[in-house]
Structure formats: structure tokens, C-alpha cells
């Protein structure tokens, strides 16, 4: 059994998955002060030293904002898709394209205020470009490429069905569907949704919004494909 602990630092969520007394950290949230973050972790009874692996679902500033600090505290290796390692190492903060009227405006504004999206660059330790088992790290999980939101987006699927998708799915609407909202390549994203539907994934934990079940993703794909 795995235990999922979500730490919401306002706007973005980072996830800690506990298995056999080890933590896998997925994403690091938007940049906040180390004081605020350590307080949040303490409240959830998490010692960063117990984190044994860090996975970055994709390199956007709201997912790598505290990566440097968390890497230093945990001394854990950082895994990222090979296509985004350079962006992370240079500390660049690309803004994705919007796919709806509202998200197009947000994307446009984001590009104007891009200099505000600063984070400390990090050199990743493990670069992947295909399905990768996490068994050697002590987790019954695998990482799969799920491109579309960005070219190097990845998801983490645990054997028990808990699946961490970063921004491959946003769950920010009140209805019963999730929408792409932001994606550089929507057709590619839809193929990634299909991959997730066909996988062992059971419950999805997005980078923004509440967890949702596979049924929701299935019906959302039908709505988007209409
Ligand atoms: Zn995000
Ligand atoms: Zn993103």
C-alpha cells in the first residue's frame, strides 16, 4: 500500500508518496520561501531527509519552484525527461499555450510577466526518454512519457493505480470533466490521455485541482474529441 500526501502551497500542489518508509516527491510547486515550505512539510510530519527520489513531471516554474531547496535538503536524485533537462539547468521558465479563450489570455499575460517566474536552476541526475521502472528506487511504480502539455511531460503510475500527471490534466472546473486548458500540442496530449486510459491508472492526482477517477478522464476525452 502507498500513502499519498498532498502539499498545497497555493496554486500548485506537490505530492509525496510513501512506500516502505521512503518518500517519492513529485514536483516541487511554485517558488515560496524555504521557511513557508518547511513549515508546510512539518505540519504533514515529513522530514525532507526521508525523500529518496524526486520526479519533475515537466519544467514549468510552478512545478520546479522549490526544487533546488528540496534537492539540497533531501540529497535525493532528480529525474526529468531528457528534453527538459537543459531548460531546468538554465533556469528558463517557458509558458505553455492556452487552449481556451480564458487560458489564451492567461498564457499571453504570463509571457509578458515571465521575468517574475524565476526559480533556481537545477542540474538533474537521471534523464529519461521512455518508460522507466522505479523498482530499483524502491517504489512499485513506473514513469511514462505523456507529452502534449509540454514535449517532455511525464507521469508516474503506481502498481496500485495512483497516478501523478502534473499538468497533463487540469482539474480546475466544477463540472465532471477535465480540460487541456494549457497545452503546446493538443492532439499529442489527447494521445497521452488515451495512453493513461489504457494503463493501470485508477485515480489521477493533477498538479492543479483535486484528484479524479479514470471515468472522468474517459468522458473528458470524449468531450474534447467531439
Ligand atoms: Zn502547472
Ligand atoms: Zn505546466
User: Cα of 73 to ligand 1 centre, how many Å?
Assistant: 23
User: Cα of 206 to ligand 2 centre, how many Å?
Assistant: 11
Pairing mode of beta strands 126-128, 78-81: parallel
Q: What is the pLDDT along the chain (226 residues), one digit of tens a residue?
A: 899 999 999 888 999 999 988 999 999 999 999 999 999 999 999 999 999 999 999 999 999 999 999 999 999 999 999 999 999 999 998 888 898 888 898 888 888 876 667 899 999 999 999 999 999 999 999 999 999 999 999 999 999 999 999 999 988 876 667 778 889 999 999 999 999 999 999 999 999 999 999 999 999 999 888 8
Q: Could you say which DSSP state residue 97 is in?
A: P
- Whole-number Cα distances in Å, 75 to 14, 58, 68, 127, 156: 18, 20, 10, 17, 21
Contacts of 90 (CB under 8 A, 6+ apart): 121
Task: Give the ligand with the smallest distance to the CA of 84.
Answer: 2
Contacts of 162 (CB under 8 A, 6+ apart): 2, 4, 17, 202, 203, 205
- Whole-number Cα distances in Å, 74 to 19, 45, 110, 129, 183: 16, 15, 31, 24, 31
Overall number of domains in the chain: 1
pLDDT attached to residue 178: 79
Task: Give the ligand with the smallest distance to the CA of 93.
Answer: 2
User: Which of these, 70, 53, 91, 217, lies nearest to 146 by C-alpha position?
Assistant: 217
User: Cα of 64 to ligand 2 centre, how many Å?
Assistant: 10
139, 22 Cβ separation under 8 angstroms: yes
| Angle in degrees, CA 14, 23, 61, rounded to 5 | 25
User: Cα of 134 to ligand 2 centre, how many Å?
Assistant: 23
96, 107 Cβ separation under 8 angstroms: yes
User: Cα of 11 to ligand 2 centre, how many Å?
Assistant: 12
Residues with CB under 5 A from ligand 2 (ion): 60, 167
pLDDT attached to residue 24: 98
In terms of residue numbers, what domain contains 54?
3-225
pLDDT attached to residue 167: 95
pLDDT attached to residue 175: 63
Residue 162, classed as helix, strand or coil, is strand
Q: What is the CATH number of the domain that holds 124?
A: 3.60.15.10
What is the maximal distance between C-alpha atoms in the chain?
47
| Angle in degrees, CA 108, 111, 113, rounded to 5 | 110
Residue 104, classed as helix, strand or coil, is helix
Amino acid at each position: 500500500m502507498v500513502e499519498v500526501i498532498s502539499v498545497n502551497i497555493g496554486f500548485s500542489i506537490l505530492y509525496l508518496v510513501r512506500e516502505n518508509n521512503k518518500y517519492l516527491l513529485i514536483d516541487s510547486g511554485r517558488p515560496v520561501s524555504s521557511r513557508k515550505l518547511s513549515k508546510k512539510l512539518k505540519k504533514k510530519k515529513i522530514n525532507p531527509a526521508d525523500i529518496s527520489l524526486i520526479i519533475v513531471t515537466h519544467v514549468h516554474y510552478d512545478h520546479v519552484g522549490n526544487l533546488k531547496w528540496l534537492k539540497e535538503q533531501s540529497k535525493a536524485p532528480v529525474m526529468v525527461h531528457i528534453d527538459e533537462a537543459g531548460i531546468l539547468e538554465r533556469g528558463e521558465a517557458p509558458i505553455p499555450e492556452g487552449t481556451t479563450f480564458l487560458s489564451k489570455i492567461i498564457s499571453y499575460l504570463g509571457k509578458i510577466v515571465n521575468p517574475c517566474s524565476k526559480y533556481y536552476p537545477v542540474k538533474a541526475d537521471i534523464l529519461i526518454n521512455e518508460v522507466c521502472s522505479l523498482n530499483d528506487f524502491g517504489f512499485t511504480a513506473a514513469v511514462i512519457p505523456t507529452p502534449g502539455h509540454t514535449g517532455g511531460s511525464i507521469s508516474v503510475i503506481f502498481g496500485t493505480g495512483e497516478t501523478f500527471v502534473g499538468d497533463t490534466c487540469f482539474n480546475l472546473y466544477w463540472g465532471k470533466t477535465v480540460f487541456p486548458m494549457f497545452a503546446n500540442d493538443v492532439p499529442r496530449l489527447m494521445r497521452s490521455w488515451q495512453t493513461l486510459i489504457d494503463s493501470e491508472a485508477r485515480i489521477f492526482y493533477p498538479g492543479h485541482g483535486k484528484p479524479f477517477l479514470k471515468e472522468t478522464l474517459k468522458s473528458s476525452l470524449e468531450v474534447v474529441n467531439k
